[in-house]
Amino acid sequence: MLVLGAIGVLALLAALVVSPRRLRTIGQVALWGAVMTALAYFALDRFGAMAATAVPAGPVSPAVSAVVQALFDSLRAPTVVICVAAVVVAVVTRLPGRAR
């Protein structure tokens, strides 16, 4: 996972170095980062719901449901913060009259 993160950072830096319009590149990366964060959250949420319903009814079922709910409820706030921050960055890079 650390290697993938490092590759992502290097790819972002390379894109910024070769980009003739760096502000636009930052805006696009921010916007797509918000989209991918939201999609990943919804996919994980659906996976958690499927995992919780796959457990047969019994004494373990409420515990599994509680763990899944606690895990994905704790991911909701950071997902919203990342998405809002990324959209703000994308909008700021698109403001008319920005310095060139």
- Enumerate residue ranges in the chain where pLDDT < 50: none
Predicted TM-score (pTM) of this structure:
0.69
Nearest in space to 65 (alpha carbons), one of 11, 75, 22, 57:
57
pLDDT of residue 13: 82
Pairwise CA distance, residues 22 & 27, whole Å: 9
Q: In a 10 Å sphere around its CB, with 0-12 CB exposed, 13-18 middle and 19+ buried, how is residue 39 labelled?
A: exposed
Q: How many CB atoms lie within 10 A of CB 36?
A: 13
pLDDT of residue 97: 58
Pairwise CA distance, residues 59 & 30, whole Å: 44
